[in-house]
Amino acid sequence: MKKRTVFNILSELGWEIEKDGGNTYTLHQFSNAGQDFAITINGKNAYELINSIYNCYENFDVSYETYLWLDNTGHGKNGALYDMEDILEDMKWCENMIYESYKKLALEQKSYYHAATW
């Protein structure tokens, strides 16, 4: 049976993968509210890529990400949802998607001792 790479699994989870050069990749996905959000990961093998996704999860600040989409009255700007609570829920969805991606990859990590291929 052919081993699935980190990138195969990320694609199955709905991520679009863009190679930025070297060992750096940008993962794009649309949230429940239709926001195109992205994370950048680094790694030369599956172990490093999975850990990089975990670091993105650990460093994802839901409050800060929500704040970025609010105007001075506390409502959405630049095409974001109007209500602060809706933006907050969408940012929680994004954080959860990063975590779920990490979990899925970590569960299969034992089969990832080979280098991830592009």
- pLDDT (tens digit per residue) in 66-104: 999 999 999 999 989 999 999 999 999 999 999 999 999
- Is the pLDDT score of 113 beyond 80? no
This prediction's pTM: 0.87
Buried/exposed 60-87: b ≥16 CB within 10 Å, e otherwise: bebeebbeebbeeeeebeeebbeebeeb
Whether residue 11 lies inside any domain: the answer is yes
The alpha carbon dihedral of 73, 78, 83, 86 has a sign of: negative
Question: Count of domains in the chain?
Answer: 1
Whether residue 118 lies inside any domain: the answer is no
Whether residue 53 lies inside any domain: the answer is yes
Whether residue 39 lies inside any domain: the answer is yes
Please give the C-alpha separations between residue 83 and each of 12, 64, 110, in angstroms, as whole numbers: 31, 16, 43
For residue 111, the 8-state DSSP code is G
Give residue 108's pLDDT: 83
DSSP output for 25-72: EEEEEE-TT--EEEEEEE-SSHHHHHHHHHHHHHH--HHHHHHHTB-T
Whether residue 60 lies inside any domain: the answer is yes
Whether residue 1 lies inside any domain: the answer is no
Task: Find the domain containing 67 and state its range.
Answer: 6-108
Each residue of 12-63: pLDDT tens digit? 999 999 999 899 999 999 999 999 999 999 999 989 999 999 999 999 999 9
